[in-house]
């Protein structure tokens, strides 16, 4: 029997951050450890984990009770470091207008999570973002809904200090009054609840103004690589696609061995290899595919040296990258990069 449509997988990047927030508020270590039950064994230090949505909701519900804060989602959104969401965040921050940035979030969100759509919306003189989670009337649940919309607001204000939403809404039922007060204070408007989606909107005139932080050239480079990754996602089977997503997030930052990747998917290395084998692939096949695609994007950037590219692809030495690239393409990276090839 297949999984229910509402039993979504969710990739969550903030377990270590939430634990640090709880520690700062005096929550005991034993309590913090109990909250991790049901998550992968390395969740406390993982860059990201992909688990059923209900496991993340349970973790956040427990964290909310332990922290005893008016609104956990607001606290997380205020503390999340810049760069947590990789390409999609940098593409949005480099956009020349808020409209372009919001459209980029809408376009590339599925690089982060599936099962939901984030859409840039225009309604008369208003414009903004909204989130629709497929098969769930309450969206991702209270804490994730509030965190997501609060983060939209935070980043938008960082890019355009004049931004002020005229409407904020959530898919989940109305929370206790202290939470509504905290949300109203943060957004400057009282949210609506029990809506079909979650989101925010403000003056359309503001989202069309030029941004001082925009960099169209660098944005196009990042978008080209993001488009390549999106194109590669379509033919991959379910487990292979999830493995590829984890690898893409970790390349150049964290270990990408099967031993490192498997726990983020709540599997043992042996189980992961078996599941990939059922799809006609090995872990090395998926890793090589990601590395080959990324390598060509990096080679198109003349500012990156061969050694830097090898490092970004997770190779410990340049010779290993050279051998792998020759195996993929029949050429060395230097030969592939030469203008004569174009």
Q: What is the pLDDT of residue 250?
A: 80
Q: Are 90 and 48 contained in the same domain? A: no
Q: Are 97 and 192 contained in the same domain? A: yes
Query: How far apart are alpha carbons 33 and 63 in whole angstroms?
Result: 11
Whether 104 is covered by a domain: the verdict is: yes
Whether 76 is covered by a domain: the verdict is: no
3-state secondary structure 292-341: HHHHHHHHCCCCCCHHHHHHHCCCCCHHHHHHHHHHHHCCCHHHHHCHHH
Whether 50 is covered by a domain: the verdict is: yes
Q: Are 113 and 194 contained in the same domain? A: yes
Strands (E), 137-243: 167-169, 198-203
**Residue range of the domain that includes 130:** 86-207
Q: Are 160 and 99 contained in the same domain? A: yes
Contact 107, 91 (CB under 8 A): no
Whether 329 is covered by a domain: the verdict is: yes
Whether 58 is covered by a domain: the verdict is: yes
The CATH number assigned to the domain holding 271 equals 1.10.10.60
Contact 13, 60 (CB under 8 A): no
With a threshold of 0.75, does the pTM exceed it?
no
Whether 2 is covered by a domain: the verdict is: no
Query: How far apart are alpha carbons 252 and 90 in whole angstroms?
Result: 16
189: tokens are 């408007």
Domains identified in the chain, total number: 3
pLDDT in tens, the chain (342 residues): 333 334 578 889 999 999 999 999 999 999 999 999 889 988 999 888 988 899 999 999 999 999 988 899 999 999 999 888 877 888 899 999 999 999 988 888 877 887 788 889 888 899 999 998 878 889 999 999 999 999 999 999 999 999 999 999 999 999 999 999 999 999 999 999 999 899 999 999 999 999 998 888 888 888 887 777 766 654 444 788 788 878 887 877 778 899 988 888 777 889 889 888 877 788 998 898 888 878 877 887 787 889 989 888 888 889 999 999 988 888 889 888 875 444
Q: Are 203 and 94 contained in the same domain? A: yes
Query: How far apart are alpha carbons 31 and 44 in whole angstroms?
Result: 13
Q: Are 144 and 189 contained in the same domain? A: yes
Q: Are 197 and 170 contained in the same domain? A: yes
Q: Are 104 and 142 contained in the same domain? A: yes
Whether 63 is covered by a domain: the verdict is: yes
Three-state SS at 49:
strand
Q: Are 58 and 95 contained in the same domain? A: no
DSSP classification of residue 203: E
Hey, which residues does 126 pair with through a beta bridge?
Answer: 123, 203
Q: Which residues are CB-neighbours of 38 under 8 A, at least 6 positions away?
A: 51, 55, 58, 59
Q: Are 156 and 114 contained in the same domain? A: yes
Hey, which residues does 130 pair with through a beta bridge?
Answer: 119, 199
DSSP classification of residue 10: E
Nearest CA to 286 out of 233, 230, 222, 336 is that of: 233
Residue 248: is it exposed, middle or buried by C-beta count within 10 angstroms (0-12/13-18/19+)?
Answer: buried
Whether 163 is covered by a domain: the verdict is: yes
Query: How far apart are alpha carbons 293 and 117 in whole angstroms?
Result: 25
Q: Are 186 and 93 contained in the same domain? A: yes
């Amino acid at each position: 029997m297949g999984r229910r449509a509402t039993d979504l997988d969710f990739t969550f990047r903030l377990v270590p951050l939430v634990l640090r927030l709880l520690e700062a508020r005096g929550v005991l270590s034993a309590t913090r450890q109990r909250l991790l039950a049901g998550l992968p064994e390395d969740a406390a230090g993982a860059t990201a984990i992909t688990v059923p949505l209900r496991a993340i909701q349970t973790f956040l519900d427990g964290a909310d009770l332990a922290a005893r804060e008016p609104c956990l989602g607001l606290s997380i959104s205020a503390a999340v470091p810049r760069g947590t969401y990789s390409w999609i965040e940098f593409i949005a921050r480099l956009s020349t207008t808020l409209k372009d940035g919001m459209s980029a979030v809408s376009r590339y969100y599925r690089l982060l999570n599936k099962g939901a759509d984030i859409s840039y919306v225009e309604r008369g003189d208003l414009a903004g973002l909204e989130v629709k989670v497929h098969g769930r009337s309450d969206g991702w649940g209270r804490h994730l809904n509030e965190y997501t919309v609060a983060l939209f607001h935070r980043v938008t204000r960082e890019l355009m200090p004049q931004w002020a939403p005229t409407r904020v809404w959530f898919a989940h039922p109305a929370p206790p009054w202290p939470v509504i007060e905290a949300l109203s204070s943060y957004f400057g408007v009282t949210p609506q609840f029990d809506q079909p989606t979650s989101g925010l909107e403000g003056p359309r005139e503001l989202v069309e103004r030029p941004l001082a932080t925009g960099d169209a050239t660098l944005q196009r480079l990042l978008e080209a690589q993001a488009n390549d990754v999106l194109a590669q996602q379509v033919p991959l089977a379910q487990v292979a696609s999830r493995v590829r997503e984890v690898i893409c997030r970790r390349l150049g930052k964290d270990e990408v061995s099967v031993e490192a990747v498997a726990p983020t998917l709540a599997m043992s290395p042996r189980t992961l290899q078996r599941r990939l084998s059922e799809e006609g692939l090995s872990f090395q096949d998926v890793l090589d595919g990601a590395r080959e695609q990324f390598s060509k994007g990096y080679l198109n950037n003349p500012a990156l040296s061969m050694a830097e590219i090898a490092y970004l692809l997770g190779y410990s030495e340049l010779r290993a990258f050279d051998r792998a690239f020759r195996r993929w393409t029949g050429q060395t990276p230097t030969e592939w990069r030469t203008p004569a090839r174009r």
